[in-house]
C-alpha cells in the first residue's frame, strides 16, 4: 500500500484497517461512540493550528480530521447505512441548494434573492431529512421545540450561543448588549448571595455559575465574538504568562512552589508589560 493524493487511497486504507480478519486490532473494534471523541479532538487541533498560524501543522491536522470522516463513513457502510460517496453527495447537494444566488438561475442570482430563497431551502432540507429517516426506519416525528436540533456534542459555550441564536429568531432576545451586561451583573450578585450563605450549596453555586457563563456567552454573541475563541486566547495568554513566572524563578534556582504569591504576582505583572502580551 502506497500513499497517494487520491481520496480513494485513504478509503482503501480504512477498509484494510477495519478488515475483521487482517485489520488493525484496535481499529476494527471501534464504533461511532468510541470514535466520536477523537473526531471532536481532531477538530480542536485544526482550530489550534489555525490559531497558532502554523500551516505545516494545519496540513497534517486537516488530514487527521479527514480521516475521521472516512472512519465514520466506513463504519456506516459496513452497517449498510451509507458510504463516503453518499457523504460527498449530501454536502455538495446542500452547498448547491443553499447558494442558488451562485449556482442557480439568473433570477436567483439577482441582488437580495439569496435571503428570499433561504426559508424555501430550509424547508426542503427538512423534507429531505424526514424522507431519509423514514427510509432508514427511524422516527419521522418532527422536533417539538425550536431548540431540539441544537447539537448536544458542541462545547457548552458554543451550544449556548447556538441556543441563543435560535431563540432570537422568534424575538426572544435583548436588543442592546448593555442589557446583557446588566444580566451578567445580576448573575454575579446571585453568586455572591450563595457564597454569603452560612452553608454553601455546591448545587446552587453550580447553577448560578452556569447562568453567569450563559449570560457571558450571550454578551459575546451580541458583540460578534466567539466565546470559545476568546477563552482559548485567554488560556494561551495565561499559559505564556505563567511560563514567564516559571522561567524567571528558575533563573534564581527556584520553582513557583518555593515563591510567595506576592512574588509570583509581581512576575505576572511583569509578563503583562512585555510587548507580546499587550492588547
Q: Average per-residue pLDDT in the chain? A: 89
More confident residue, 148 or 205: 205
Residues 6 or more apart in contact with residue 84 via CB below 8 angstroms: 7, 11, 69, 70, 73, 74, 77
Phi and psi, residue 6, nearest 5°: -85, 130
Report if residue 259 sits inside a domain.
yes
Closest among 134, 130, 156, 256 to 210, alpha carbons compared: 156
27 & 116 share domain: yes
DSSP 149: T
pTM: 0.65
pLDDT at 133: 76
Would 262 be classed as within a structural domain?
yes
Structural domain total, the chain: 3
Question: Which among 178, 204, 177 has a CA at the least distance from the CA of 193?
Answer: 204
pLDDT of 145 reads 84
pLDDT number for residue 194: 96
243 Cβ contact list (under 8 Å, min separation 6): none
Spatial neighbors of 255 by CB under 8 A, at least 6 apart, are 246, 249
Q: Is pLDDT of 111 > 60?
A: no
Q: What pLDDT score was predicted for residue 130?
A: 78
58 and 124 assigned to the same domain: yes
Residues 77 and 7: their CA atoms lie apart, in Å, by 16
Kindly indicate the confidence band of residue 279, based on its pLDDT and cuts at 50, 70 and 90: very low
pLDDT digits (tens, 9 = 90+) for 74-93: 999 999 999 999 999 999 99
Whether residue 130 sits in one domain with residue 11 = yes
* Residues 169 and 112 both lie in one domain: no
Residues 119 and 92 in one domain: yes
Q: Please give the Cα distance from 11 to 84 (Å, whole number).
A: 8
Structural domain span for residue 171: 156-225
- Which of 207, 199, 216, 121 shows the shortest CA–CA distance to 160? 216
> Domain for residue 144, yes or no?
no
Amino acid at each position: 500500500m502506497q500513499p497517494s493524493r487520491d481520496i480513494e487511497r485513504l478509503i482503501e486504507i480504512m477498509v484494510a484497517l477495519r478488515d475483521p480478519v487482517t485489520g488493525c486490532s484496535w481499529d476494527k473494534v471501534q464504533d461511532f461512540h468510541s470514535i466520536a471523541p477523537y473526531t471532536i479532538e481532531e477538530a480542536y487541533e485544526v482550530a489550534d493550528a489555525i490559531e497558532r498560524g502554523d500551516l505545516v501543522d494545519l496540513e497534517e491536522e486537516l488530514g487527521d480530521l479527514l480521516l475521521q470522516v472516512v472512519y465514520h463513513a466506513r463504519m456506516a457502510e459496513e452497517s449498510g447505512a451509507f458510504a463516503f460517496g453518499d457523504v460527498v453527495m449530501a454536502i455538495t447537494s446542500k452547498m448547491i441548494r443553499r447558494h442558488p444566488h451562485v449556482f442557480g438561475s439568473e433570477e436567483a442570482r439577482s441582488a437580495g434573492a439569496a435571503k428570499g430563497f433561504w426559508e424555501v431551502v430550509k424547508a426542503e432540507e427538512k423534507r429531505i431529512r424526514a424522507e431519509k429517516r423514514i427510509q432508514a426506519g427511524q422516527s419521522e416525528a418532527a422536533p417539538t421545540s425550536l431548540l431540539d436540533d441544537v447539537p448536544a456534542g458542541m462545547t457548552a459555550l458554543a451550544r449556548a450561543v447556538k441556543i441563543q441564536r435560535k431563540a432570537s429568531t422568534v424575538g426572544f432576545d435583548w436588543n442592546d448588549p448593555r442589557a446583557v451586561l446588566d444580566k451578567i451583573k445580576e448573575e454575579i450578585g446571585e453568586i455572591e448571595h450563595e457564597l454569603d450563605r452560612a452553608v454553601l450549596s455546591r448545587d446552587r453555586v453550580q447553577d448560578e455559575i452556569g447562568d453567569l457563563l450563559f449570560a457571558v456567552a450571550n454578551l459575546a454573541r451580541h458583540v460578534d465574538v466567539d466565546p470559545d475563541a476568546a477563552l482559548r486566547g485567554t488560556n494561551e495568554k495565561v499559559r505564556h504568562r505563567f511560563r514567564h513566572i516559571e522561567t524567571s524563578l528558575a533563573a534564581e534556582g527556584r520553582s513557583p512552589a518555593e515563591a510567595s504569591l506576592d512574588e509570583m504576582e509581581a512576575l505576572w505583572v511583569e509578563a503583562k508589560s512585555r510587548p507580546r502580551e499587550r492588547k
